[in-house]
Amino acid sequence: MRRAALVVFACLAAAAAAAPPEGRWTGHAQLPGRNLPLVLDIAPGPSGSWIGSLTIPGQNIKGAELSRITLEGNRIDIDAGAVLSPPTGGGGVTFKARAEGAAIVGEMDQAGNKAPFRLVRTGPAQIDPAARSAPVASSTQGRWVGEFELGGYPRHVTLDIANDGANKPKVDFVVVGKQTTKLPIDLVNEAEGILHIESRLYGTTLEARVSADRIEGTLEVGANEIPILLRRSAEKTS
């Protein structure tokens, strides 16, 4: 009788350890000299898969889509892609964790730099549908040029936009300052004359109104919000 009770208890304990990770998980990773706040949202996805997002307060990362979530017993492996990679590169971010009661504990790995973390469930998952790129207005296509200032130095901008069928428009976003940087573009769309372009790797977002001869609005670079004006160029796009 006692043996049977122990078997039942062991089964219940294993089931609890392998409980689905659905929910919002909040805590921090322990970096050298400081704690990095983390918020993971995990929810059931289509066909038995799992979907989720990562938010890092103060790092310009909010609701970044997780690339992959894998469960095996009480193990949880998460691939967050390149959301924390610096502009010079450095690889993606992964989380290797295990469920411990009402907490998830494990190790965050960014390009070989490892940091322990602990998260606790604070409520239901809050995953907003991921924004999708879409073709821009035909009048928005072409080359646009302008300047902005950051850190006391002027930067020259060349923005080439061309629709690529029904897929994400092809965008070349080149900034020339002390060096020339071509931003990798993750998201492009336009609604009611407002153009939205994101480069997550560089923490840069353009939000601007498009008219016949200008694109005028705000360029967010990290925590900086910079006014920007681009004018249509007669030069042909490359």
β-bridge mates for residue 52, sequence order: 42
What's the pLDDT at 4? 42
Domains and their CATH numbers in the chain: 2-123 (2.40.128.120), 138-232 (2.40.128.20)
Q: What are the CA-CA distances from residue 148 to residues 88, 211, 226, 227 (Å)?
A: 22, 19, 7, 7
DSSP codes, 43-88: EE-GGG-EEEEEEETTTTEEEEEPSEEEEETTEEEEE-TTTT--TT
Q: Per DSSP, which regions of 101-186 are E strands?
A: 103-110, 113-123, 142-150, 153-164, 167-176, 180-183
pLDDT the model gives residue 192: 92
Whole-model pTM: value is 0.59
**Alpha-carbon gap, residue 30 to 114, rounded angstroms:** 9
Q: Collapsing DSSP states into helix, strand and coil, what is residue 95?
A: strand
Q: How far is CA 88 from CA 71, 84, 85, 101, 182, in A?
A: 32, 11, 8, 39, 12
Q: pLDDT tens string for the chain (238 positions)?
A: 445 444 434 444 444 445 568 999 999 999 998 999 999 999 998 778 899 999 888 776 788 888 899 989 889 999 987 666 554 444 578 999 998 888 999 999 987 889 999 999 999 999 877 678 899 999 999 999 999 998 888 999 999 999 987 667 999 999 999 899 999 998 899 999 999 999 977 889 999 999 999 999 999 988 889 999 999 998 766 5
* Token duo for residue 185: 């573009």
* CA dist., res. 75 & res. 79, Å (int): 13
Order of all β-strands in the sheet with 214-221? 180-183, 167-176, 153-164, 142-150, 224-232, 214-221, 204-210, 194-199, 187-191
Helix/strand/coil for 7: helix
Spatial contact of 87 and 181, defined as CB atoms under 8 Å apart: yes
Q: Distance between CA atoms of 8 and 3, rounded to whole angstroms? A: 9
